[in-house]
Amino acid sequence: MADSLILEVADLEHDVLTGIYSEETGKPQPLRITIQAKIAIADRYEPDTPLEASKNYMDLKAAATDALPQGVHFKLIEALADHICTTVMADDDRIEAVTVKIVKLAIAEANEQIGITMVRERR
């Protein structure tokens, strides 16, 4: 098995305009988002290895928060996951794949996790 490096931001809770039902549209919904980015691994990571040898995991967080277009309503959370994947992969050819898991918190009745997981590999 080849070496790999997975950067992760897990269980980020953020309100996003999403949904298809009338009670969902027009107001943000709380989502729990986990992002994993598989990145080309360096040969070694020494104590003084600079950040440029990896990717700043805050970029993953920003892809699910600050990088979302203001006022855009994502009918499907699949479209939101696709936007996050595209944002994480943009301008960094070292990213080999991105996994985004989105859980819709507002529709859970008994603490179940209802949502999707999307895996996008670089083509």
Mean pLDDT of 51-59: 91
Q: What is the pTM of this model?
A: 0.93
Is the pLDDT reported for residue 42 higher than 90? no
Q: How far apart are CA 63 and CA 51, in angstroms?
A: 18
Where do the domains of the chain lie? 5-43+50-121
* Fold for the domain defined by 5-43+50-121: GTP Cyclohydrolase I, domain 2 (3.30.1130)
Is the pLDDT reported for residue 91 higher than 90? no
Q: Which two tokens stand for residue 122?
A: 């670089």
Is the pLDDT reported for residue 122 higher than 90? yes
Name the average pLDDT for the chain: 94
Is the pLDDT reported for residue 89 higher than 70? yes
Q: How far apart are CA 48 and CA 122, in angstroms?
A: 29
